[in-house]
Structure 1
Amino acid sequence: MIVGIDLGTTNSLVAVWQDGHAVIIPNSLGHHLTPSCVSLDDNGDVLVGLAARDRMLSHPSQTAALFKRYMGTQHEVRLGKRVFRPEELSSLILKSLKADAEHYLGQPVTEAIITVPAYFNDVQRKATKLAGELAGLKVERLLNEPTAAALAYGLHQGGDDSQFLVLDLGGGTFDISILEMFSGVMEVRATAGDNHLGGEDFVDALVQAFLDREATKAAIKRDKLQPHQMALLNSEAERVKRELTSSEQAMFRYVDGDTSLEWTVDNAEFEKITAPLLKRLREPVERAMRDAGLRVADLQEIVLVGGATRMPIVHRLVAKMMGRFPRRDVHPDEAIVIGAAVQAGLKMQDAALDDVVMTDVCPYTLGVEVAEKNNLGQYRHGIFLPVIERNTVIPASRSHPISPLNDEQKVVALRIFQGESREVKDNVLLGSLDVTLPSAKESNGWRDVDVRFTYDLNGLIEVEATVLATQQRYALVIEQTPGAMTTQEIAHSLEKLANLKISPREQAENKALLARLGRLYQQMLGQERQIVSDWTRVFENALETQEPRAIQQVREQLSGYADQLEGRPVL
């Protein structure tokens, strides 16, 4: 069974293609969204999802979020006494989604289509694939998120010769894709984006504005805040951001001990605060349009996906840039996973999807370092020679001949880069390969090397260098890329994760409510705090009875009370 998974920065989802349509699978709490958070409880058990997210406030040193932003890097996260890499934390999210899918489907789930930001580089894609493998999944394909969104909107069922733009602004990443439908083929014409721009940045901008405007009155400085104080600020800023999607203004309240501050912010002020972020949204859109060689009038559809596109300031910006209102009729949080399920259906060759062919593009230019000669006959090193240009349709294979600098040179040291800068120092080094050359006498002076790059549908790269005189081939396996895990590290991670005690799925609702009550206790004061304390005691007493029906009845009652106290459902 193949499932589609949206492994998101803020929330993750899993779906399956059944009976000719995508079905989003609920988690153990009955929600479609599983927060991309991991926490260790006091017993060392792993909590994933809502229970972990609610512990961000009460147990920040034992809880992790936003780790997708560090995929493919050496970044490590400490939870209590344990240290995790982003791939390992992501694998715990994927393992939880896998368990939800198996419970729903009643059969083992072994394969998955996992979505990634279109602008993820080779290292980040490999890290995502590795996370799937650590979770016990065979990753059939990594699907670009905007392409998945296009599938969710059914744009692959539109007429020929139609172009459309998909803008995907999630919790932590921003992607633009321009796609074209012709003769049953959906082709990505261009892609651009920013891997460090998302809804969380708008939250952070609100936090910083609050600290600048109000917190200085109480002598509060950001670099002096404790983890629980930052978690409290982020939680409140997230609430304010959401409230501004449906209201003209919202009240930012910060209560910690004897400190109580309030700040009223409206949409106009919010737009002013986030102006630098909105500018960063414009640039990739303009770049993708230039790369595709299109004008706004050439686009048949403009589609918004990703939870952060709910913000009115984003909707207004896109409408102003494009001169028309964009579509957002598919649930922005669910569009990506629906598209992943459609792709899973394609993979399973479902009859309803037989006629669709998907193509994608290389998001970054790939090439090698060379030296070039100036007018004085001197060589300047560190110049980037593109072999596969960005936005080349994949799968793709391109080659380019290179020559040694002189007849005495015995080895060509190929250094492989990705990026858009003319100088390699500003690009990302992917790997290196030494190619041994025959002597000038042995090769009759013909010492060129043919360098071939092959980029597959998963966005993974193979490099082959062939000495033309001897046809000797050298293959590049990029294992030591900055941030990539070695074989030994992967084996160690598998052993470490196998030894972790995962909180049982049937206890998820109880763990989630306890974590929520713990968060509410920290957030509330006075009588409301005492009420939450009483609720917690009542629920703990119910758990001690070990009577499932009694526990369920108390849990449902207290969840309703908690919803009323917060003024909104938890998701």
Structure 2
Amino acid sequence: MFVGIDLGTTHSLVAVWQDGKARLVPNALGQVLTPSVVSVDKDGSLLVGEPARERLQSHPQQSAAVFKRDMGTARVFRLGAHAMRAEELSALVLRSLKADAEAELGAVITDVVITVPAYFSDVQRHATRSAGLLAGFTDITLLNEPTAAALAYGLHQSEGRFLVFDLGGGTFDVSVLELFDGVMEVRATAGDNRLGGEDVDVLMVRRFVQHLGLTEEQAQQPMTAARLQRAAEATKRSLAVQEEALMRIELDGKPLAMTWTAQDLEAVLEPLMERMRQPVERALRDSRIRPQELDAVVMAGGSTRLVAVRQLVTRLFGRFPQTALDPDQAVALGAAVQAALRGRDAALAERVMTDVCPYTLGVKVTKYLADGRTQDGFMAPVLERNTIIPASRVERFFPNSAEQRQLNIDIFQGEARRVQDNIGLGSLILPLPARSDGDGLSTDVRFTLDANGLLEVEAVLLRHGQPQGVARQLVIEASAERLSPKELAKSLERMKALKLHPRDRLEVRALIARAERHHAQLLGHWRTALADAIMEFEVALETQDDRQFAQPRQQLQAMLARIESEQYLPDTD
């Protein structure tokens, strides 16, 4: 059985196709949104989701979040004694969602559709696939997030031209799709892998810090930074449904607050609005479709709730976007539809889906100038962006001189004319025989991109256009930024040894983490009272008798509710 997973920057979700429709699977806390956060508990076990999110403020050195942005990089996150890459942290989130689905369905699940930003690079897609393998999945399909949103809206059952505007917590994608005769064809994709709701929070925090005159040193303290980010997120969510909201934290026992209006937020977001406009215009230009020729504009991603974002879309297209589905859930529901298509569910008619390569892929070449000089470091495209995939393209290249004994084929991804401004993916070395200037040596370089957006490169040596039996093939998989097969195997063994907090005790652990977060912020009477309530609850837990800790739990929950209701009231002085 396939499941669909939206592996998000801020939250992740898992969905299944049952009884002719997609539905979300709740986690151990009964929620469908699982925060993409990992933390190490005091007993060494790993917490994933809401309990880990609560510990971001109280234990920032043992917690990690927003690691999706570092997929496909060599960055290492340190959580106490643990050192993990982004794909390993993502694997823990996937593993938690896998456990939720297995508990719900009563079956072992090995097949998954994982969504990725359409603008994810080859390296980032490989990292996502590695995360799926580390989580215990064996059959992994990658699906672009805007395509998933289109499936969730049922656009695969329609005909017409549609634009999907997908603004999540950390990434932004725009895809233009055309549907005809049972075919869903992605015409063009553009985006920004470092633009999302997290950037909104950063700008809000910056404005808040300036307004209150806090120093950079104060704002960058780990616990203070975590409080500021959480306050910004809460204020942003409030402004999605009301005209005013209060952003407030406590620093050294002193309440600090600032009132935000929808207009304040719109002014702060102006730089981000321009960054959103550019991928929209590029996707439309590449698709050769004018805005007035679109049949609908579909919104996905939780950050599209922002009024300023919806107003931008309305201005760009001269129409209101479709918002029938919860933007947080659309991508996961679409992943479940794709899972059903993969599983050939009888309730779904067979559909043909095509996607595109989001970036131009090519090799580094030397160019000859008019005066006979040469310049190195230029990009020669082999597969251009928005080519329908799967695809295979070949280009012929020639050695620079008769003295060359090998051909270095350096592979890059990006739109700049010089490779130094693009992303290096790997290298392939082809040995060359000794020769004279007139021996007609050349090399055919073939790029093959599969339906998951994963790249394979092949080079064949030719003499006078005929193959010479010397060929090299490279599946782009090993570099400083990506786990090699050997490293992946080691990581898999290491992941097996990690102990996740028991799923059936997560509700209790989430409550304690929530209480500890508030305890770290409070002073005086409230701090002492809360510490006593936490200790009483933990002592009752040691009895392992539900009847013994029912009353301490209720008392702790009531105290937290009172603290939270008072914490966000405006100052009266």
Q: CA deviation at 1:20?
A: 1.3
Task: Report the 3-state secondary structure (helix = DSSP H, G, I; strand = E; otherwise coil) of the residue aligned with 2:201.
Answer: helix
SS at match of 1:17: strand
Matched, 1:39 2:34: no
Per the alignment, residue 484 of structure 1 pairs with: 482
CA deviations 1:177-221 (Å, max 9, x no partner) are 1111011110111111111111011011110111112134xxx32
- The answer to whether the Cα contact below 8 Å between 1:211 and 1:222 also exists between their aligned partners in 2 is no
**Partner Cα distance (2:527, 2:79) in 1:** 27
Alignment correspondent of 1:514:
512
SS in 1 for 2:417: coil
Is it true that 1:445 corresponds to 2:445 in the alignment?
Answer: no
Superposition CA RMSD, Å: 1.9
Q: CA separation in 2, counterparts of 1:43 and 1:434?
A: 49
* Contact 2:253–2:523 (CA under 8 A) maintained in structure 1: no
**Does the CA contact (< 8 Å) of 1:3 and 1:16 recur in 2?**
yes
- Per-residue CA shift, 1:319-378, capped at 9, x if unaligned? 111111101111111111101100000010011223211111101100011111111011
Please say if residues 440 and 446 of structure 1, whose CA atoms lie closer than 8 Å, have aligned partners that are also in contact.
no
The residue number in structure 1 matching 2:394 is 399
- Please give the alpha-carbon distance, in whole angstroms, between the structure 1 residues aligned to 2:565 and 2:333: 30
- Please give the alpha-carbon distance, in whole angstroms, between the structure 2 residues aligned to 1:141 and 1:300: 29
Is contact 1:129-1:139 (8 Å) kept?
Answer: no
Structure 1 pair 191–553 and aligned structure 2 pair: CA distance change class (3 A): farther
What corresponds to 1:459 in structure 2?
453
Cα distance between partner residues in 1 of 2:5 and 2:143: 10
Do the aligned residues in 1 keep the contact of 2:253 with 2:522 (CA within 8 Å)? no
Matches of 1:170 and 1:139 in 2, distance apart? 26
Distance 2:118 2:318 in 1: 25
Q: Distance in 2 between matches of 1:19 and 1:256?
A: 52
Instruction: Write the distance in 2 (CA, Å) between the matches of 1:84 and 1:535.
Output: 34
Q: Greater CA deviation, 537-546 or 243-252?
A: 537-546
Q: Which amino acid aligns with 1:381?
A: D
Cα shift readout 1:501-535 (whole Å, capped 9, x = no counterpart): 21111111110110011112234455654554454
User: What CA distance in whole angstroms lies between the structure 2 residues aligned with 1:502 and 1:339?
Assistant: 29
Deviations 1:145-202 (A, max 9, x none): 000000000000112xx11011111111111111110111101111111111110110
For residues 80 and 466 of structure 1, do their structure 2 counterparts lie closer, same or farther at Cα, with a shift above 3 Å needed?
same
Deviation at 1:12, TM superposition (A): 0.5
Contact 1:202 1:274 in 2 (8 A): yes
Spell out, residue by residue over 1:512-570, the C-alpha distance to the aligned partner (whole angstroms, 9 max, x if none): 110011112234455654554454244224313311355457546754664565359xx
Return the letter of the residue paired with 2:534. Answer: T
- Please say if residues 185 and 353 of structure 2, whose CA atoms lie closer than 8 Å, have aligned partners that are also in contact: yes
Conserved 8 A contact 1:430-1:482: no
Q: Name the counterpart of 1:203.
A: 201
Unaligned runs of 5+ in 1: none
Q: How much identity, in percent, do the aligned residues show?
A: 51
Kindly indicate whether residue 7 of structure 2 is the aligned counterpart of residue 13 of structure 1: no
Distance in 2 separating the partners of 1:115 and 1:485: 20
User: SS of 2:178's equivalent?
Assistant: strand
Whether the 8 Å CA contact 1:45–1:502 is kept in 2: the answer is yes
- Aligned-partner residue type, residue 346 of structure 2: A
Q: Which 10-residue stretch deviates more, 190-199 or 491-500?
A: 491-500
- Which 10-residue stretch deviates more, 348-357 or 285-294? 348-357
Q: Per-residue displacement from partner, 1:94-137 (whole Å, max 9, x unpaired)?
A: 11111111111101011111000111101110001001101111
Q: Distance in 1 between matches of 2:350 and 2:342?
A: 12
CA distance in 2, matches of 1:346, 1:551: 47
SS in 2 for 1:263: strand
Residues 229 and 295 (structure 1), Cα distance of their counterparts in 2 relative to 1, 3 Å cut: same
Residue 488 of structure 1 and its aligned partner are, at CA, apart by 3.4
What letter is aligned with 1:467?
L
- Aligned partners of 2:503 and 2:254: how far apart in 1? 39
Structure 2 partner of 1:542: 540
Q: Does the 8 Å contact 2:13/2:33 carry over to 1? A: yes
Code of the residue aligned with 1:460 in structure 2: it is L
Question: 1:103–1:171: structure 2 CA closer, same or farther, 3 Å change rule?
Answer: same
Match of 2:491 in 1: 493
Counterpart Cα distance in 2 of 1:438 and 1:84: 44
1:310 and 1:62, CA in 2 relative to 1: closer, same or farther beyond 3 A? same
1:413-444 Cα distance to aligned partner (Å, 9 max, x none): 11111000001111111111111234446x97
User: Quick check: 2:344–2:350 contact (8 Å CA) kept in 1?
Assistant: no
Report the 3-state secondary structure (helix = DSSP H, G, I; strand = E; otherwise coil) of the residue aligned with 2:204: helix
Q: Please say if residues 125 and 459 of structure 1, whose CA atoms lie closer than 8 Å, have aligned partners that are also in contact.
A: yes
Say how many residue pairs are matched.
Answer: 562
TM-score if structure 2 supplies the norm length?
0.94
SS at match of 1:204: helix
In the alignment, what sits opposite 1:365? 360
Q: Which residue of 1 aligns with 2:267?
A: 272
